[in-house]
Structure 1
Amino acid sequence: MSEAQEKWAQRKIASHFSFRTKGHINVCSECGAKFDNGSNVKYVVCPECGARLEIHDTRKRTYSEKQVFSTLETVDDLQVQRIYMLHSGYRRGHKAEHEAVEIIRRWYDGDGNFAVEARHRSMNHYVDVFLYSTNIELKKDCYVYRTLADSYVAAGAKLLPYFRKRGVKGRFPNVSPDKLFNGLVTDPRIETLLKSGKIKDLAYFLDHMTELGKLWNSYKISMRKGYRISDISLWADLVQALEYCGRDIHNAHYICPDNLKEAHDYWTKRMAQAVEKERSRKELEKAMKREADFIRLKSKFFDLTISDGTIDIVVLDSIKAFKEEGETMHHCVFSNSYYDRPDSLVMSAQIEGKRIETIELSLTDMKILQSRAVCNGTSEYHDRIINLLNSNLHQIAKRNTA
């Protein structure tokens, strides 16, 4: 790592802030200079060193942090990503102290082969805890090294001709070097994205390689149409929602909407409704396997109606009836399989066919367990429903013992 790269990391990666007291006295974390600033702003510029500082209203006198960054170099015919831990220490009234320690090296040969070297780590669940006194040695790759490899790359990257020919030129794009190198070796579509300059799209697909395969043809159509994708993640969600809803994802009318967010919201809502419909269908299909047992246990109550001339209390006589009751009343009488309770009788209190409350009665104790209106609430007819059912329990008891 060159001195210029270390300075870059200190300038771009490390935090720059001002310790501000209640008296509006600011102390620059970079040079230690003191200055007054009474305005209510989030950022100030140090008059001494010119650093742009985020204001921290704090009585703390010290602060420390760790940040990760990388450099890219070539060694013989190999590409190496060197990953550093930048330790920054701040003390009020003193210049900031920075130290960069190399922790990991990732080697690539341009043929898809790579190796990892790293210092030993302590037995700790944090990914950034390394033993700096140990040597950098060959290691088996793991999520810790891959996570830390996804870090900012310092200016002055040196690259193998293999990667330069595939579009990595000038300033290294703001993507994971590890994912980019592997992508360039294994998938020519990554090279196409890189050379097109669609860096945000490239970054998204590097993180969602399975989606690249599904969406690539649609993506190419949108590019040929000159469509500007303002948010690649919204666009990817839109195309997948369109496909789920049976729309042609190779039709520019659908995949190149004038208002991406509006189209995204509309079609993802349609997809959610379709998913719920399919889930509900499968749930009913599974429940219907229990219908024979339900009919065997409860059929003797099916033709029973209790009425006072206004309110009719009827027995739910099928699995579908439970499903309709649950969907209309927005409660769990179907989803929690009340039809599968041998000692319960579930009834619906209705007025002119409109459901008012759902009642669960214990067939063992002949006792009303619950009577729920929409969303498990209570209707204005609640007491009347309870009294009506209680006064006719003998009808249910008679059938129960038959």
Structure 2
Amino acid sequence: MKARNKFEAAVMEQSKHLRPITKQQIKWAFRECISHFAYRLPKGRTTCMDCGHRWVMSKYRETCTYPHCRAKLQVQTTRARKHKEQHYFTILTTSGDYQVLRMCLLIVGMEKGYPAESSVIEIGQYWWNSQGKQTIVAIQRTMGSYLDTFAFHSPKAIRRDNEVYQYIAQSPLYPKVKALDILQRNGFAGDCHDIAPTKLIPALLTDSRAETLFKGGRTADLRHFLINPQGIDQYWATYKITLRNHYLITDIALWCDYVDMLKRLGKDIHSPKYVCPENLQEAHDTAQRKLQTKQDKEAETRRRQKAIENEERFQALKAPFFGITFTDGVIQVKVLESVQEYLEEGTALHHCVFTNEYYLKKQSLILSARIDGKRIETIEVSLETMKVIQCRGLQNKNTEYHDRIIDLVNRNIRQIQSRVA
């Protein structure tokens, strides 16, 4: 892609002055970015795949340090003779007035009896000016079964940012870092603290809030906000309360969830009393319980409102059965005659006769069995088969009167049947 503006044109010109990757950088990448092996034959003859020297390891070990090249090796018992490995690494440096993140691919070939051979291909670079403006200079990607497939001999040009470059940019960083003066002034001293450079550098150059967090050592909090970019806008006013009170947040994700719940509970999220709890986990759990209680009450209110709206439909369905009642001298059984009675029945016996809207079931009739006015069990009768479908007491358990109630209903089923017609 051709440069589209003066900034990209200037970057392309400056990219010509980048120095080649040094031997020291390649040596570091070889040592730190790939796995190192000792290939051992079954009888103990072992070869260091880094330097090619051989020795006899009489007793197998999972790892060893070969004194000749001081390499820490993973021991593998195998007859293989060759091994190839590749890994990305990055270099953070400057060029002119720009901050540059160079992305490189290390390719290593190993063969028994020979020193390992390394080569490096530079995939591309992220460029930033002092105002945080960004562009990418890189070789061309190609179509393939893997996302990170490149035309290695293609010329470097301006490319659009994508998830492949962002992924490569998070590869191990060469420890000797060069940074712009403005970046150093804003707190950067070479350590990214496990934050992707492609997120950290532009944030430090453009956002004073990121500078505040980074200089204050709150790198875990900054990492969370950069991964969730809307978070810093959403929580910053509240977060400043913790800064003023020197409150250390032990778990930023948990704290953000806690603040969200405080908002929904109508609490003052600008009060240190709430946003700086002594025990964050305990405060979070307490707020969660209160919010659950509030949600349950709101749901119950909605159900009650819906029940009132459904009263007319219920009356049309069940009016023919109103007034049915019978007793055996101890137990009285009666038809529930309003949605409010369904609500009271479900609340008293802690079952779902109201919440599952039994009052709107066309082929079902609900009766209540009581002794001296106290609810004992709730009975559901099928209007199609004229049989008891279920009979439930407190918390859906049967009482000592269970069989007696069912027998009483069956003996008086004709009263219900006569109303169907």
TM-score (norm 1): 0.73
Equivalent position of 1:191 in the other structure: 211
Could you tell which deviates more after superposition, 187-196 or 232-241? 232-241
Equivalent position of 1:211 in the other structure: 231
> SS of the counterpart of 2:143?
coil
Summarize deviations over 1:229-274 as a string: whole Å, max 9, x none. 2222222222332332222223223322222222222223323333
Could you tell which deviates more after superposition, 364-373 or 87-96? 87-96
Which of the numbers 281, 291, 295 marks the counterpart of 1:271?
291
Q: Which amino acid in structure 1 is aligned with residue 202 of structure 2?
A: N
The percent of aligned pairs where both chains have the same amino acid is: 34
**Paired residues of 1:152 and 1:174 also in contact (CA < 8 A):** no
User: 1-side partners of 2:173 and 2:103: how far apart?
Assistant: 9
Instruction: Provide closer, same or farther for how the CA distance between residues 361 and 14 of structure 1 changes in structure 2, counting only shifts above 3 A.
Output: farther
> SS of the counterpart of 1:274?
helix
Equivalent position of 1:246 in the other structure: 266
1:46 lines up with 2:65 in the alignment: yes
Equivalent position of 1:315 in the other structure: 336
> SS of the counterpart of 2:135?
strand
User: 2-side partners of 1:129 and 1:19: how far apart?
Assistant: 30
Q: Which amino acid in structure 2 is aligned with residue 234 of structure 1?
A: L
User: 2-side partners of 1:31 and 1:320: how far apart?
Assistant: 87
Instruction: Provide closer, same or farther for how the CA distance between residues 244 and 105 of structure 1 changes in structure 2, counting only shifts above 3 A.
Output: same
1:396 lines up with 2:400 in the alignment: no
Equivalent position of 1:80 in the other structure: 100
**Paired residues of 1:9 and 1:69 also in contact (CA < 8 A):** yes
Gaps (5+ residues) in structure 2? 1-20
Which of the numbers 105, 111, 114 marks the counterpart of 2:131?
111
How far off its partner does 1:175 sit? 0.6
Equivalent position of 1:178 in the other structure: 198
Instruction: Provide closer, same or farther for how the CA distance between residues 273 and 93 of structure 1 changes in structure 2, counting only shifts above 3 A.
Output: farther
**Greater CA radius of gyration, 1 or 2?**
2
Instruction: Provide closer, same or farther for how the CA distance between residues 110 and 21 of structure 1 changes in structure 2, counting only shifts above 3 A.
Output: same
Equivalent position of 2:346 in the other structure: 325
Equivalent position of 2:244 in the other structure: 224
TM-score (norm 2): 0.71
Instruction: Provide closer, same or farther for how the CA distance between residues 234 and 136 of structure 1 changes in structure 2, counting only shifts above 3 A.
Output: same
Equivalent position of 1:293 in the other structure: 313
User: 1-side partners of 2:339 and 2:414: how far apart?
Assistant: 23
User: 1-side partners of 2:190 and 2:236: how far apart?
Assistant: 27
User: 2-side partners of 1:151 and 1:113: how far apart?
Assistant: 22
How large is the Cα RMSD of the aligned pairs? 4.7
> SS of the counterpart of 1:201?
helix
Summarize deviations over 1:14-67 as a string: whole Å, max 9, x none. 45688999999999886788757789xxx85535465667899x9896988765
Gaps (5+ residues) in structure 1? none
Instruction: Provide closer, same or farther for how the CA distance between residues 139 and 368 of structure 1 changes in structure 2, counting only shifts above 3 A.
Output: farther
Which of the numbers 230, 255, 258 marks the counterpart of 2:278?
258
Instruction: Provide closer, same or farther for how the CA distance between residues 313 and 187 of structure 1 changes in structure 2, counting only shifts above 3 A.
Output: farther
**Paired residues of 1:68 and 1:85 also in contact (CA < 8 A):** yes
Instruction: Provide closer, same or farther for how the CA distance between residues 400 and 262 of structure 1 changes in structure 2, counting only shifts above 3 A.
Output: same
Which of the numbers 345, 355, 361 marks the counterpart of 1:341?
361
Map of 1:113-152 to 2, 5 A cutoff? 113-118=133-138, 119-122=140-143, 124=145, 127-130=147-150, 132=152, 136-152=156-172
- The number of residues matched between the two structures is 393
> SS of the counterpart of 1:153?
coil
Could you tell which deviates more after superposition, 127-136 or 216-225? 127-136
How far off its partner does 1:196 sit? 1.4
> SS of the counterpart of 1:46?
strand
Instruction: Provide closer, same or farther for how the CA distance between residues 343 and 115 of structure 1 changes in structure 2, counting only shifts above 3 A.
Output: farther
How far off its partner does 1:200 sit? 1.2
